[in-house]
Amino acid sequence: MHAFQPRFALNQPAVHVAFGAGVRHDLPAHLNRIGARRAVVIATPGQADAARALADTLGDHAAGCLPRARMHTPVDTTEAALAELTALRADALIALGGGSAIGLSKALALRTGLPQIALPTTHAGSEATAVLGETEAGRKTTRSDPRVQPGTILYDPELIVTLPLAVTIPSALNAIAHAAEGLYARDRTPLATLMATEGLRAFAAALPRVRSAPDDLDARAEALYGGWLCGMVLGQVGMALHHKLCHALGGSFGLPHAETHAILLPHTIGYTAVSVPQLLTPIPEIFGPEDTPGRALHSFARALDAPTALRDIGLRHADLARAVEIALDAPYWTPRPPDRDGLTALLHAAWDGAPPSH
Ligand code: NAD
In this predicted structure, what is the pLDDT of residue 30?
98
pLDDT of residue 184 exceeding 90: yes
Q: Is any ligand 1 atom within 6 A of the Cβ of residue 159? A: yes
Query: Span 89-116, mean pLDDT?
Result: 98
CB 38 within 8 A of CB 89: yes
Rounded to whole angstroms, the Cα distance separating 180 from 165 reads 22
Q: In this structure, which residue's CA is closest to atom 36 in ligand 1? A: 99
283-341 pLDDT, tens digit per residue, is 999 999 889 999 999 999 999 999 999 999 999 999 999 999 988 887 789 999 999 99
How many angstroms is it from 134 CA to the middle of ligand 1? 14
Q: Is any ligand 1 atom within 6 A of the Cβ of residue 162? A: yes
Rounded to whole angstroms, the Cα distance separating 331 from 318 reads 23
Q: Determine which of 93-97, 213-217, 230-234, 251-255 has the lowest per-residue pLDDT on average.
A: 251-255
Percent share of the chain, pLDDT over 70: 99
How many angstroms is it from 271 CA to the middle of ligand 1? 27
What number does the ligand 1 atom closest to the CA of 162 have?
19
pLDDT of residue 3 exceeding 70: no
In this predicted structure, what is the pLDDT of residue 290?
85
Q: Is 266 exposed, middle or buried (0-12, 13-18, 19+ CB in 10 A)?
A: buried
Q: In this structure, which residue's CA is closest to atom 42 in ligand 1? A: 126
Distance from first CA to last CA of the chain, Å, rounded?
21
Q: In this structure, which residue's CA is closest to atom 40 in ligand 1? A: 126
Q: Is any ligand 1 atom within 6 A of the Cβ of residue 257? A: yes
Q: Is any ligand 1 atom within 6 A of the Cβ of residue 95? A: no
75-85 pLDDT, tens digit per residue, is 999 999 999 99
pLDDT of residue 138 exceeding 80: no
Q: C-alpha distances in angstroms, 231 versus 99, 130, 184, 197, 234?
A: 11, 11, 16, 13, 5
Q: Is any ligand 1 atom within 6 A of the Cβ of residue 99? A: yes
Q: Is any ligand 1 atom within 6 A of the Cβ of residue 69? A: no
Q: Is any ligand 1 atom within 6 A of the Cβ of residue 104? A: no
In this predicted structure, what is the pLDDT of residue 314?
94
In this predicted structure, what is the pLDDT of residue 2?
58
pLDDT of residue 137 exceeding 90: no
> Would you tell me the crossing angle of helices 293-303 and 165-183 to the nearest 10 degrees?
170
Q: Determine which of 129-143, 154-168, 210-224, 267-281 has the lowest per-residue pLDDT on average.
A: 129-143
In this predicted structure, what is the pLDDT of residue 140?
82
Query: Span 259-267, mean pLDDT?
Result: 98
Query: Span 260-272, mean pLDDT?
Result: 98
> Would you tell me the crossing angle of helices 190-212 and 293-303 to the nearest 10 degrees?
30
In this predicted structure, what is the pLDDT of residue 149?
98
Q: C-alpha distances in angstroms, 316 versus 139, 190, 330, 338?
A: 21, 41, 21, 22
Q: Is any ligand 1 atom within 6 A of the Cβ of residue 315? A: no
pLDDT of residue 1 exceeding 80: no
Q: Is any ligand 1 atom within 6 A of the Cβ of residue 71? A: yes
Q: In this structure, which residue's CA is closest to atom 30 in ligand 1? A: 99
pLDDT of residue 204 exceeding 60: yes
In this predicted structure, what is the pLDDT of residue 329?
83
CB 132 within 8 A of CB 72: no
pLDDT of residue 5 exceeding 90: no
Q: Is any ligand 1 atom within 6 A of the Cβ of residue 96? A: no
In this predicted structure, what is the pLDDT of residue 326?
87
What number does the ligand 1 atom closest to the CA of 132 have?
41
Q: Is any ligand 1 atom within 6 A of the Cβ of residue 296? A: no
What global pTM score does this model have? 0.96
